[in-house]
Structure 1
Amino acid sequence: MTRLHVRNRGAFAYVDGELADGEGDKLMRLHDGGTASRWGFALYYASSDRYEDSLLPTGGFAGAPEEALDCACPLHLAAQDI
């Protein structure tokens, strides 16, 4: 990903990624967890066009935004290689 686009809607932050060729991809949704370092995490699934609550590698449904990006970006990039 070369660029991230974040849009807010209510208590949610929707994060999209942009590749070097300008192609965009929905990545994830974050839900305000009450602190700047704790956010709920939902991956975007293109197959169902939905965001679904997902576990972070640490095993929780909430964590730092950096953890969520570290989880979502490789999954979406790997899916594009298929």
Structure 2
Amino acid sequence: MAAIPDSTKTSLAQRLRQHARDQWPQLAALYVRYHGQFAYVEGELAGGDQLPLLRLRYGGSASTWGFGLYLASSGKYENQILPTGLPIGTAQEALDCACALYLNY
């Protein structure tokens, strides 16, 4: 699969940051970096600690993404299925899945 287009990178980061502001006040900031067909999302907590959250996989559409959660036990990302039962969904759904797991402590 081709790399993520620049326009999609921009819109993805904007949508994820807005969603994090609206839904996840535990996050002081959200960072997105890109490599090939992947977007890696990391959150920053109020105390400054950074937390890898998820990896999004671009499949040719800016509206649907595959995703993997970061597993601290292995230091790797593992593909997941969203609570909807689908292996793809919106980036916001993937962020909610990761944040529900890592921030609801």
TM-score under structure 1 length normalisation: 0.91
Corresponding residue for residue 32 of structure 1: 58
Q: Secondary structure at the match of 2:46?
A: coil
* Higher fraction of helix: 2
Show structure 1 runs of 4+ deviating over 6 A: none
- The root-mean-square deviation of aligned C-alpha atoms, in Å, is 0.9
Q: Which runs of 5+ in 1 are unaligned?
A: none
The gaps in structure 2 that reach 5 residues or longer are 1-26
Q: Displacement of 1:3 after TM fit?
A: 1.0
More strand by share: 1
* Native 8 Å contact 1:7 1:13 kept in 2: yes
Q: In the comparison of the two structures, how many residue pairs are matched? A: 79
Give distance in 1, aligned partners of 2:92 and 2:28.
15
Equivalent in the alignment of 2:36: 10
Residue identity matched to 2:65: W
- Asked if 1:46 is matched to 2:91, the reply is no
Cα shift readout 1:18-74 (whole Å, capped 9, x = no counterpart): 001110000000000211111011000000111000011111111100000110012
Checking the alignment, whether the CA contact within 8 Å between 1:12 and 1:32 is kept in structure 2 is yes
Alignment partner of 1:76 is 2:102 = yes
Greater radius of gyration (CA):
2
SS at match of 1:66: helix
